[in-house]
Amino acid sequence: MNILYHVPLSPFCRKVRLSLAEKKIEVQLVEERYWELDADFLRRNPAGKVPILKVDGNIFTESSAICEYLEDKYPEPSLLPKDVETRFEVRRLVSWFDDKFHHEVTVNLLYERVNRKIHGSGYPISANVKAGAKAIKFHLDYLAWLLDNRRWLAGDAMSLADFAAAAHLSSLDYICDVDWNRSSAVKDWYATLKSRPAFRSILADNVPGFPQPNHYSNLDF
């Protein structure tokens, strides 16, 4: 059995989960308390990070590298376009969300509101939360601009770029930190992704101490 060691609200884990589900690759989900730095966990990944994918006895780490591996081994349905320029744009946007969006928004909102409580590392730092709430407006506007010119974030076809963005936004949506009324184009794009079968596992997540909001799994939110 394939195993994905993960954390439910981690956008990096969610990106891999979406890729696996879209390609209909069955995995057993095992929650990992990575912050405890358990010896078995560190043997699986000395970097001390999730996700960790175990396939055919092999261990794979780093979310983008895992997604590229899945694309190489299971090329259909494709999440990376054949066209070189569009393929570059997909990778650029994946990097945008996993780097810029992550540090400006996810760290300041999700990690402050959720991770601090789960890890027992104190209360949210209000300045960080305010910075994240301000930054997400810019990123939502950037998404709206992309979607004004394209059917999907990177072009005419859904790609890993859409999954990377949706992974971060779905985690933030779980804690009600996304203003979906800011852009009808972004809301419609997310609703389309949310209705895909690949999203079902994501929408079923429930984190102890953080009840799932009513709209979170509603496909007509």
Please compute the mean of the pLDDT values over residues 19-31 and round it to a whole number.
97
CA–CA dist 181, 86 (Å, integer): 29
Amino acid symbol at 14: R
Please compute the mean of the pLDDT values over residues 7-19 and round it to a whole number.
98
Please compute the mean of the pLDDT values over residues 100-117 and round it to a whole number.
97
pLDDT at residue 15 in the model? 98
Q: Quick one: what percent of the chain has pLDDT higher than 90?
A: 95
Q: Check if the beta carbon of residue 164 is closer than 8 Å to that of residue 153.
A: no
Question: Measuring CA to CA, which residue among 15, 105, 86 is closest to residue 53?
Answer: 15
Q: Check if the beta carbon of residue 89 is closer than 8 Å to that of residue 38.
A: no
pLDDT at residue 29 in the model? 98
- Other beta carbons within 10 angstroms of residue 210's beta carbon come to 16
pLDDT at residue 220 in the model? 81
Q: Check if the beta carbon of residue 163 is closer than 8 Å to that of residue 18.
A: yes
Q: Which DSSP symbol is given to 104? A: I
Predicted confidence band of residue 63 (pLDDT cuts 50, 70, 90): very high
pLDDT at residue 221 in the model? 76
pLDDT at 30 over 80: yes
Q: Parallel, antiparallel, or unpaired: how do β-strands 52-55 and 3-6 relate?
A: antiparallel
Residues 6 or more apart in contact with residue 169 via CB below 8 angstroms:
178, 190
Please compute the mean of the pLDDT values over residues 180-203 and round it to a whole number.
97
Please compute the mean of the pLDDT values over residues 59-68 and round it to a whole number.
98
Residue 136 Ramachandran class (φ > 0 left, ψ -120 to 50 alpha, else beta): alpha
Structural domains in the chain plus CATH codes: 3-73 (3.40.30.10), 84-203 (1.20.1050.10)
Question: Measuring CA to CA, which residue among 105, 103, 100, 165 is closest to residue 132?
Answer: 105
pLDDT at residue 164 in the model? 98
Q: Quick one: what percent of the chain has pLDDT higher than 70?
A: 100
**Coil, helix or strand for 15?**
helix
Averaged confidence pLDDT in the chain? 96
Predicted confidence band of residue 175 (pLDDT cuts 50, 70, 90): very high
Predicted confidence band of residue 27 (pLDDT cuts 50, 70, 90): very high
Please compute the mean of the pLDDT values over residues 42-48 and round it to a whole number.
95
The larger pLDDT score, comparing residue 149 to residue 175, is at 175
pLDDT at residue 16 in the model? 98
With the CA atoms of 175, 45, 199 and 187 taken in that order, what torsion angle do they form, in degrees rounded to the nearest 10?
A: 50
pLDDT at residue 135 in the model? 98
Q: What is the CA radius of gyration of the chain?
A: 17
pLDDT at residue 161 in the model? 98
Assigned token pair, 156: 């005419």
